[in-house]
Amino acid sequence: MSKNVLIIEGDGIGVEIIAAAEKVLKAVNEIDNLNLTFDTAMLGGRAYDQYGKPYPDDTQTKARAADAILFGALGGPQWDGKTERHLRPEAGLLDIRSDLGLFANLRPAVAFEQLVAASPLKPELVGGLDIMIVRELTGGIYFGQPRGIRTLENGEKQGFNTDVYKESEIRRIAKVAFEAAQKRNKRVCSVDKANVLEVTVLWREVMEEVAKGYPDVELSHMYVDNAAMQLVINPKQFDVLVTGNLFGDILSDEASMITGSIGMLPSASLDVNNKGFYEPCHGSAPDIAGQDIANPLATIMSAAMLLRYSIGAASSADRIQAAVGRVLDAGLRTKDIYSDGMTLIGCEAMGQAVVDAL
Amino acid sequence: MSKNVLIIEGDGIGVEIIAAAEKVLKAVNEIDNLNLTFDTAMLGGRAYDQYGKPYPDDTQTKARAADAILFGALGGPQWDGKTERHLRPEAGLLDIRSDLGLFANLRPAVAFEQLVAASPLKPELVGGLDIMIVRELTGGIYFGQPRGIRTLENGEKQGFNTDVYKESEIRRIAKVAFEAAQKRNKRVCSVDKANVLEVTVLWREVMEEVAKGYPDVELSHMYVDNAAMQLVINPKQFDVLVTGNLFGDILSDEASMITGSIGMLPSASLDVNNKGFYEPCHGSAPDIAGQDIANPLATIMSAAMLLRYSIGAASSADRIQAAVGRVLDAGLRTKDIYSDGMTLIGCEAMGQAVVDAL
Ligand SMILES: CC(C)[C@H](C(=O)O)[C@@H](O)C(=O)O
Ligand SMILES: CC(C)[C@H](C(=O)O)[C@@H](O)C(=O)O
């Protein structure tokens, strides 16, 4: 039975990094006889320009039908501050996450050996770093009701949002974290602010309860302010880090920056059946879009994650990752990861190099 | 007219760092004829043990009457998980902030030249770093209602908190930030998550409105996830960073760790009349309490901030800071900031050294 992959460029460098990753994915599809079919759709700013909303109906129909989605990036200055919040490019991302129930966001923060020198941290803190951040993606303050801006009796405006989690939401993301840890170093650190926020008191309770089902995995808890510090002074202490939507947004970005390899980091957002949305951790970088200098490797690695989690083609995923390793070993570099003595190439050439190395 | 300073040790190393800072403060009081009077009270875990609550009535009475409060630190394993949230040591801190209306938390993140090597970041990213973080401290999700854990109709528990700010709260913290910037490099970066949270859409609007009254100060905006990254890769881009209670908790801790000087960083929490609560940025470090190895310099610098903001004795504050500089230049170091070739001393000796250098 053939599986369908929906490919969405998005905005900015999304176009060129997806072109490169698509080439790699299609090559592996041939080599490994994966029998994948492909379709395309739009999401974000250009989608808004064409359809009047960032998550158009056409995209919704195709996304619901697809087995997996490979996405580039979205947003750009031309859509900043111009429209209401629900019409902005980012709303497209929030809408598709919610619509497809993509509650489990997996963001590996890995320091590639070849790129440790690019980290802002001292090399000894970063070498060998390999964290898996598991972020809850369809709940918490991102989607909580009530929300809005109201006018008080004295005429003042007041803005409000609701951070909310129920047991079942916490339980299912906890399971994802514990199962990930079982395949890794068997440690889960749950990040909360249980000394202040009741919503995270419940979070901590449910984590403890779920932990009982995974006696081989060690659970610890950390406050979010401390986690933000520990990621800087001792990131290697973490194996799997699990947290809610907002803290996950902040900490996963902090962690990705620490690796020095942000142009290399993929992400997966999964539903309960491992249907997934795959995208690089970095943004749409409108300042360098269209210049063929973006790094497609994070998107190519996202395609590898797609094969692993949503298609069940682990060996094809390994094939892509090995090819990326060979390309780096050969000294090929895009501008963002370039250092003395390496060979500077563009986005398209990098995609081709990975295809050649497959 | 004499002014009254309330001194609160708290828990853990609070006892010894306050002893050292108190000595310095009393010495300056003599030298500069400041006419300060002193009183003491309790807050946190030991306060709970003695009075049954972390912010006892006796402390409340004295704190309301005082002109300024110098505080050590609170918390420790003996109070972890034992009591309800509102009886935990940290609740004492939240209660006193709210009770006294200490809405403006000022946390300088400064890299001391002598300690740049202690930063986890590469020295070139940190040398000369000098950020002022202005955190709103009595609003937002820390205090928002409704909050709690309820049972849904299906029997599931649900935790919830409310993030809420009204215009007047945002306006007054904005003014603190802009006024701080006028005395510094005239740049304010306001951190929010306006692409997702309505409460921060209002935050951003009010920041823009207040900025009009400070045409000499440049205002920029940054999303919190990006701020967490920028603090790691390019912290020196910031002058004054202003944000809400929760984001301020996370980012100020991250920033203090980046300096490599966390044992050196003071903080002030001010009300509308510059009455203030002063404490070091670091915690109560129960693991090293009572061993005379804690670093009292952050608390001593907090005493300097107290003189500057709440007593209006800027030259006395300068005197303390100069004395700390001389002690560091003389190579005296507590354990946390020790490096080869320096002279290792204890907490008490460090306090005495600053007194001697006054
Ligand atoms: C674009 C934005 C809405 C989004 C988020 O906050 O989730 C992004 O920062 C992310 O992490 O994918
Ligand atoms: C102890 C805790 C409640 C407190 C806070 O979150 O505000 C602390 O982290 C701080 O930053 O002063």
Which residues of A are designated catalytic? 142, 193, 225, 249, 253
Q: In chain B, how many domains are there?
A: 2
Mean pLDDT over the full length of chain B = 96
B108 among the known binding-site residues?
no
Mean pLDDT score, A129-135: 97
Does residue B263 belong to any structural domain of this protein? no
* Nearest chain B residue to A226, by CA: B253
- Closest of B100, B1, B9 to residue B312, by C-alpha: B1
What pLDDT does residue A309 have? 95
Structure tokens at B117: 């090597």
Nearest to B160 among A120, A195, A198 (CB): A198
Q: Tell me the whole-structure pTM to 2 decimals.
A: 0.96
B290 among the known binding-site residues?
yes
Question: Which residue, B258, B283, B304, sits at the end of a domain?
Answer: B258
Question: Which residue, A193, A222, A256, sits at the end of a domain?
Answer: A256
What pLDDT does residue A84 have? 79
What pLDDT does residue A310 have? 97
Does residue A109 belong to any structural domain of this protein? no
B98 and B196 share one domain: no
What pLDDT does residue B262 have? 87
Q: Which of A186 and B339 is assigned the larger pLDDT? A: A186
- What pLDDT, in 10s, does the model give residues B254-302? 999 999 888 899 999 999 999 999 999 999 999 999 999 999 999 999 9
Distance in Å, CA A89 to ligand 2 centroid: 34
How sure is the predictor about A291, in pLDDT bands with cuts at 50, 70 and 90? very high
B352 by Cβ neighbours in 10 Å (0-12 / 13-18 / 19+) ranks as: middle
How many angstroms away from the CA of B63 is the closest CA of chain A? 22
* Nearest chain B residue to A159, by CA: B199
CB pair distance less than 8 Å for A156 and B166 = yes
Residue A99 CB less than 6 A away from ligand 1: no
* Nearest chain B residue to A152, by CA: B166
A146 and A245 share one domain: yes
B239 and B343 share one domain: no
Q: How many CB atoms lie within 10 A of CB A233?
A: 16
pLDDT higher than threshold 90 for residue B228? yes
A89 and A12 share one domain: yes
CB pair distance less than 8 Å for A160 and B144 = yes
B58 among the known binding-site residues?
no
**DSSP β-bridge partners for residue A134:** A106, A242
CB pair distance less than 8 Å for A157 and B202 = yes
How sure is the predictor about A83, in pLDDT bands with cuts at 50, 70 and 90? low
Does residue A107 belong to any structural domain of this protein? no
Q: Over pLDDT 90: what percentage of chain B?
A: 92
**Which residues of A are annotated as part of the binding site?**
97, 107, 135, 225, 249, 253, 283-295
What pLDDT does residue B82 have? 63
Residue A90 CB less than 6 A away from ligand 1: yes
Mean pLDDT score, A131-148: 98
Residue B298, C-beta contacts closer than 8 angstroms, at least 6 positions apart: B17, B262, B263, B264, B265, B266, B280, B281, B282
A320 and A348 share one domain: yes
A252 and A289 share one domain: no
A198: domain range? 117-130+138-256
- What is the number of the ligand 1 atom nearest to the C-alpha of A248? 11
CB pair distance less than 8 Å for B85 and A250 = no
For a pocket test of ligand 2, which of B74, B86, B90, B282 has the largest count of ligand atoms closer than 8 A to its C-beta? Answer: B90
Q: Characterize B78-102 residue by residue with b for buried, 16 or more Cβ atoms within 10 angstroms of its Cβ, and e for exposed.
A: ebeeeeeeeebbbbbbbbbbbebeb
- Closest of B137, B134, B107 to residue B259, by C-alpha: B107
Nearest to B199 among A161, A224, A257 (CB): A161
**How many alpha carbons fall within 13 Å on the CB side of residue A239?**
18
How sure is the predictor about A140, in pLDDT bands with cuts at 50, 70 and 90? very high
Give the H/E segment covering residue B159. strand B157-166
Question: Which residue, B212, B236, B258, sits at the end of a domain?
Answer: B258
Mean pLDDT score, A141-161: 97
Q: List the end-to-end C-alpha distance of chain B, in Å, as a whole number.
A: 25
B83 and B123 share one domain: no
Angle between helices B57-65 and B89-100 (to 10 degrees): 40
Annotation marks residue B275 as catalytic: no
- Is the Cβ–Cβ distance between A217 and A182 less than 8 Å? yes
Distance in Å, CA A198 to ligand 2 centroid: 15
**DSSP β-bridge partners for residue B110:** B130
B224 and B344 share one domain: no
- Closest of B43, B91, B1, B19 to residue B289, by C-alpha: B19
How many angstroms away from the CA of A97 is the closest CA of chain B? 13
A125 and A238 share one domain: yes
- What pLDDT, in 10s, does the model give residues A25-59? 999 999 999 999 999 999 999 999 999 999 999 99
A252 and A345 share one domain: no
Does residue A67 belong to any structural domain of this protein? yes
How sure is the predictor about B310, in pLDDT bands with cuts at 50, 70 and 90? very high
Which residue minimizes the CA distance to atom 8 of ligand 1? Answer: A249
* Nearest chain B residue to A146, by CA: B162
Which residue minimizes the CA distance to atom 8 of ligand 2? Answer: B249
Mean pLDDT over the full length of chain A = 96
Residue A95 CB less than 6 A away from ligand 1: no
How many angstroms away from the CA of A206 is the closest CA of chain B? 10
How sure is the predictor about A85, in pLDDT bands with cuts at 50, 70 and 90? confident
What pLDDT does residue B173 have? 98
Kindly list the residues from chain A whose CB atom is less than 8 angstroms away from the CB atom of residue B45: none
- What pLDDT, in 10s, does the model give residues B84-143? 778 899 999 999 999 999 999 999 999 988 888 889 999 999 999 999 999 999 999 999
CB pair distance less than 8 Å for A160 and B159 = no
**DSSP β-bridge partners for residue A10:** A73
Mean pLDDT score, A198-212: 97
Does residue B125 belong to any structural domain of this protein? yes
Write the CATH number for A232: 3.40.718.10
Residues near ligand 2 (Cβ within 6 A): A 195-196, 225; B 90, 93-94, 249
**Ligand lying closest to the C-alpha of residue B224:** 1
Kindly list the residues from chain A whose CB atom is less than 8 angstroms away from the CB atom of residue B166: 152, 156-159
* Nearest chain B residue to A155, by CA: B167
B32 by Cβ neighbours in 10 Å (0-12 / 13-18 / 19+) ranks as: middle
Residue B314 CB less than 6 A away from ligand 1: no
Which residue minimizes the CA distance to atom 4 of ligand 2? Answer: B90
Does residue A263 belong to any structural domain of this protein? no
Mean pLDDT score, A237-261: 96
A251 and A309 share one domain: no
A-interface mutation test, from B86, B107, B162, most A Cβ less than 10 A away: B162
How sure is the predictor about B1, in pLDDT bands with cuts at 50, 70 and 90? confident
Kindly list the residues from chain B whose CB atom is less than 8 angstroms away from the CB atom of residue A144: 160
What pLDDT does residue B83 have? 64
Q: Tokens 């609070």 identify what position?
A: B14
Cα maximum dimension of chain A: 68
Q: Over pLDDT 70: what percentage of chain A?
A: 99
B76 among the known binding-site residues?
no
Q: List the end-to-end C-alpha distance of chain A, in Å, as a whole number.
A: 25
Residue A255 CB less than 6 A away from ligand 1: no
Does residue A111 belong to any structural domain of this protein? no
- Is the Cβ–Cβ distance between B69 and B43 less than 8 Å? no
Which residue minimizes the CA distance to atom 1 of ligand 2? Answer: B90
Distance in Å, CA B91 to ligand 2 centroid: 9
What pLDDT does residue A339 have? 87
For a pocket test of ligand 2, which of B74, B79, B249 has the largest count of ligand atoms closer than 8 A to its C-beta? Answer: B249
Structure tokens at A135: 């972020």
CB pair distance less than 8 Å for A253 and B157 = no
pLDDT higher than threshold 90 for residue A260? no
Helix ranges restricted to H, chain B: 14-31, 45-51, 57-65, 89-100, 123-126, 167-182, 198-211, 224-233, 245-259, 297-306, 314-329, 347-357
Does residue B42 belong to any structural domain of this protein? yes
Q: Tokens 């998005």 identify what position?
A: A10
pLDDT higher than threshold 80 for residue B196? yes
CB pair distance less than 8 Å for B159 and A201 = yes
B2 and B128 share one domain: no
